[in-house]
Structure formats: structure tokens, C-alpha cells
């Protein structure tokens, strides 16, 4: 027996998967999209459904965030799955992929299963888990990628840890390729970047910060892509940040290498100057880059070279940030500000809204094999309703995440989330908090 549905009418329907941006109405029922029409309201009267008049607001697929860290299991004071899910819903994010760098590390199928079950129990946004590439994320012995894939791991990564031993990384790629598993790896030369908190250059020198040259990213990526090409593995570049690395990525794709790339919202919206007077909220890994690199990332989104924009959500408690800049723990929360931050590319850089939303929806969905990320009949009813132009001011103290370390604190943005629907259920509405 079908349940009561939700009918959205008078929406600006924005669906990157189909390339449509125009008037539309959508009916969601029993967790799926039952009907989509490209006109303000349905031709036939919809029965047994709650009708929501969008009044011209944008209705798009819910966002899919491939890179979310929490503190569960092990350090729940940073972030629990519940607080992360609530923050995601408030930000229009309907699917999150948890990183494996927890305590213990997610390097065996039982832990993948635990996180997936915990996520389902929340009855909120979809929670997926990424499995580790190596045991304990130590870059030495291979983790059980095949068994974790069977348990439902979305992809595999050692998170912020770079596998320095090329022989180990090649073995990982060959093993993962046998299961057609997607693996992600941070492009960096770990010997050049060790201990660095900034990008080498005049600013880092003037501030006296330990730094690493930007070329370390290109060097790491050249190695990773050579190994990926030789093994044929599906490969994801984890947070590309420099223009030189983008050139390497483009050349690899022209040779037919199956490689995708992510960029964090922080590296699209901020540059190294934003460190200001040693602002530890801007202490990130990878570090912020010069403005020319930020602009190159923005153009890469415009050109479709970037497959997914991630929040790189990394909750850090106050004691981890109230330290000298070089000693502060890197990271910024980002689930609640992901969409509004991305919309700066539309408002300030003039990128078409469809092109901004593509790497937030169908792009990441296709990478990990989800049916979500699109507004089409039969797809999961994961939707976000938002006012593209509504101004907001980010107040860290009012964010839902347990930790309040956001790069966007005090920043004026445009884009207010009005409602988030996950699995056909309303999990967030404006004014709820």
C-alpha cells in the first residue's frame, strides 16, 4: 500500500543529470520519485500527497558529500553520526561518505557494517562508509578491500595519509582493480610535505610558517597516475589544489586514464591570504594555496575537470585550534555551508547553476554507483529546496556540528536551505533549529 507522498509545485527544477533548469513539479512517494513534470504544476490532480508550493525556489537533487570525518567510533566528542547527519540535513546534503580514519580505523568489513547499520538507524540522511586501503592506515599491509566491498564500502582511501611506498600503493591498486573498486589517494610527496602547515612562498616566509612547495602535489600525482595507468584501477584524486596538478590530470585523461578528481569547498572559496593573523580555522590539509591556484580550481569546475566538490568536513574541538598556527590541528567543518559556499561560484564567478550543482550531485553519485543525484522517475527521493539568492551570514556558534571550526565563520553568503528530503522524508526545514 502506498504511503502519503509529497508534491512539490511551482519549483525552479534544477537537474544536472538531465541538464534541465526551468519550471517543474515533483511527486515523491515511498522513498522514490514517482513523477516529474517540466511545468509549474501537475496536469492531473495529485491525491494523497502533501503539497508544497516552492514559490519559485530551486529544487535539485540532494547533495552527495564524498569526504566527511566524524569522531565515531573513538572520539565522539568531536562529532557523532547523529550530529553529522543533522548537520548534513541542514546543509541540503542527503548522502555522506564517512572517512576511515577513526579509532579504530575502518579497515575490516565488521566496521563497515557497523557504520552502515548505525547510519540506517538514524533514519535521516544516507550514511555510507569508505574503507581503508591499508591496515590501520599505516601504508604497509593491505586491508581487506574485497570483503569491505562486499560489506558495502563506497570506496577506499587512507584519508589524509599518503602511502609513501610505491610498491605498496601498486599492490593496493592491483588488488582493488580485481574488484573494480574505486580508490582515492592524496596527491603529495610525503617527504616534502612532512611538518608543513602552509604553502612555500613569500607569505609563509614572512609569517615564519613551516611550508612545503606546491610542486609536491604535482610530484605525488604524477606517481599515482603512472601506477593507476599501469594497473587499470578506477582512481580518484583526493582534493586537488594546484594549477600544475590540474595540468597533469588533464594530460592523463587525454591518454585515457580512468581518473576522477575532487576539490574541497575551502580551496574554491579561500586562498593563503585568508590565514590573516594566524587564523587557525584556516589551518587545513592540504594547506590553502595562492589566489592563482584558487582561480584555477574555479575554472576547473566550470570546465568539468572536477568530478566532485567535497566539504572535507573535519570537526576539531576548540583545544585543537587554540594553539600556535603550525601546531593547530588542521581541518574545517563544512557540511552546513557546502551548498552556500559552492553558490559563490555562481554568484561571483558566473558559473551556470547546473555546472555548480553537477559535482555536488550526479558527479559523485556516478563515481560510487548511486542511483541518487538526479531528479528522475524511480530515483531515490533525495531533494533539496533552496533560495539561490537569499543572503546568509555564517555564525559558527549556531551551527549544528559539535565542533565549531569553520573557515566560513562570519562570511556573508547567498543560498538558504528551505527544506531537505531524504528517502522521501523531510529531514530538515528552514527555522527548525
Contact 227, 166 (CB under 8 A): yes
Convert the pLDDT of each residue in 92-131 to its tens digit. Answer: 999 999 999 999 999 999 999 999 999 999 999 999 999 9
Q: Residue 132 has which C-alpha cell?
A: 581503508
User: Would you state the pLDDT for residue 289?
Assistant: 98
CB atoms within 10 A of CB 142: 16
Convert the pLDDT of each residue in 358-375 to its tens digit. Answer: 999 999 999 999 999 999
**21 phi/psi in degrees, rounded to 5:** -140, 100
* Every domain of the chain and the residues it spans: 62-368
Of the candidates 341, 366, 368, the one whose C-alpha atom is nearest the C-alpha of residue 356 is 341
- The CATH code that applies to domain 62-368 is 3.20.20.140
* Residue 51 CB-density burial (10 A; 0-12 exposed, 13-18 middle, 19+ buried): middle
* Residue 184 CB-density burial (10 A; 0-12 exposed, 13-18 middle, 19+ buried): buried
User: Would you state the pLDDT for residue 4?
Assistant: 87
User: Would you state the pLDDT for residue 1?
Assistant: 42
Convert the pLDDT of each residue in 56-101 to its tens digit. Answer: 999 999 999 999 999 999 999 999 999 999 999 999 999 999 999 9
Query: What are the residue ranges in the chain where pLDDT is below 70?
Result: 1-2, 432-433
Quote the CA–CA distance of 137 and 158 in Å, as a whole number. Answer: 5
pTM of the model: 0.97
Distance (Å) of CA 23 to CA 10, 36, 39, 375: 7, 11, 5, 13
Amino acid at each position: 500500500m502506498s504511503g502519503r507522498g509529497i508534491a512539490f509545485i511551482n519549483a525552479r527544477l534544477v537537474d544536472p543529470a538531465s541538464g534541465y533548469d526551468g519550471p517543474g513539479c515533483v511527486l515523491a512517494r515511498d522513498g522514490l520519485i514517482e513523477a516529474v513534470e517540466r511545468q509549474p504544476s501537475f496536469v492531473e490532480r495529485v491525491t494523497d500527497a502533501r503539497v508544497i508550493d516552492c514559490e519559485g525556489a530551486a529544487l535539485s537533487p540532494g547533495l552527495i558529500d564524498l569526504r566527511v570525518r566524524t569522531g565515531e567510533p573513538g572520539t565522539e566528542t568531536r562529532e557523532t553520526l547523529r550530529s553529522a547527519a543533522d548537520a548534513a540535513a541542514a546543509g541540503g546534503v542527503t548522502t555522506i561518505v564517512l572517512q576511515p580514519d577513526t579509532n579504530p580505523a575502518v579497515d575490516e568489513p565488521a566496521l563497515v557494517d557497523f557504520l552502515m547499520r548505525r547510519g540506517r538507524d538514524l533514519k535521516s540522511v544516507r550514511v555510507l562508509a569508505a574503507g581503508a586501503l591499508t591496515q590501520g592506515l599505516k601504508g604497509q599491509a593491505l586491508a581487506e578491500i574485497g570483503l569491505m566491498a562486499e560489506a558495502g564500502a563506497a570506496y577506499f582511501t587512507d584519508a589524509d595519509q599518503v602511502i609513501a611506498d610505491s610498491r605498496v600503493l601498486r599492490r593496493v591498486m592491483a588488488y582493488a582493480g580485481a574488484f573494480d573498486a574505486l580508490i582515492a589517494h592524496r596527491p603529495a610527496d610525503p617527504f616534502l610535505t612532512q611538518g608543513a602547515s602552509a604553502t612555500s612562498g613569500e607569505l609563509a616566509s614572512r609569517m615564519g610558517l613551516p611550508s612545503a612547495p606546491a610542486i609536491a602535489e604535482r610530484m605525488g600525482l604524477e606517481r599515482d597516475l603512472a601506477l593507476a595507468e599501469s594497473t587499470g584501477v578506477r582512481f580518484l584524486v583526493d582534493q586537488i589544489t594546484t594549477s600544475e596538478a590540474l595540468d597533469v590530470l588533464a594530460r592523463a585523461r587525454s591518454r585515457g586514464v580512468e581518473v576522477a578528481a575532487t576539490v574541497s569547498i575551502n580551496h574554491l572559496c579561500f586562498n593563503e591570504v585568508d590565514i590573516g593573523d594566524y587564523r587557525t580555522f584556516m589551518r587545513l590539509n592540504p594547506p590553502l594555496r595562492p589566489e592563482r591556484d584558487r582561480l584555477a580550481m574555479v575554472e576547473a569546475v566550470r570546465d568539468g575537470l572536477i568530478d566532485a566538490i567535497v566539504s572535507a568536513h573535519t570537526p576539531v574541538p576548540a583545544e585543537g585550534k587554540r594553539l600556535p598556527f603550525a601546531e593547530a590541528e588542521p581541518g574545517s567543518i563544512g557540511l552546513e555551508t557546502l551548498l552556500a559556499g559552492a553558490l559563490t561560484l555562481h554568484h561571483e564567478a558566473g558559473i551556470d547553476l547546473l555546472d555548480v550543482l553537477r559535482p555536488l550531485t550526479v558527479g559523485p553519485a556516478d563515481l560510487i554507483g548511486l542511483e541518487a543525484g538526479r531528479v528522475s522517475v524511480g530515483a531515490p527521493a533525495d531533494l533539496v529546496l533552496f533560495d539561490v539568492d537569499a543572503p546568509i551570514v555564517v555564525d559558527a556558534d549556531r551551527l549544528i556540528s559539535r565542533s565549531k571550526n569553520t573557515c566560513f565563520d562570519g562570511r556573508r553568503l547567498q543560498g538558504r536551505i528551505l527544506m531537505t528530503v531524504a528517502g522521501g522524508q523531510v529531514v530538515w526545514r528552514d527555522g527548525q533549529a
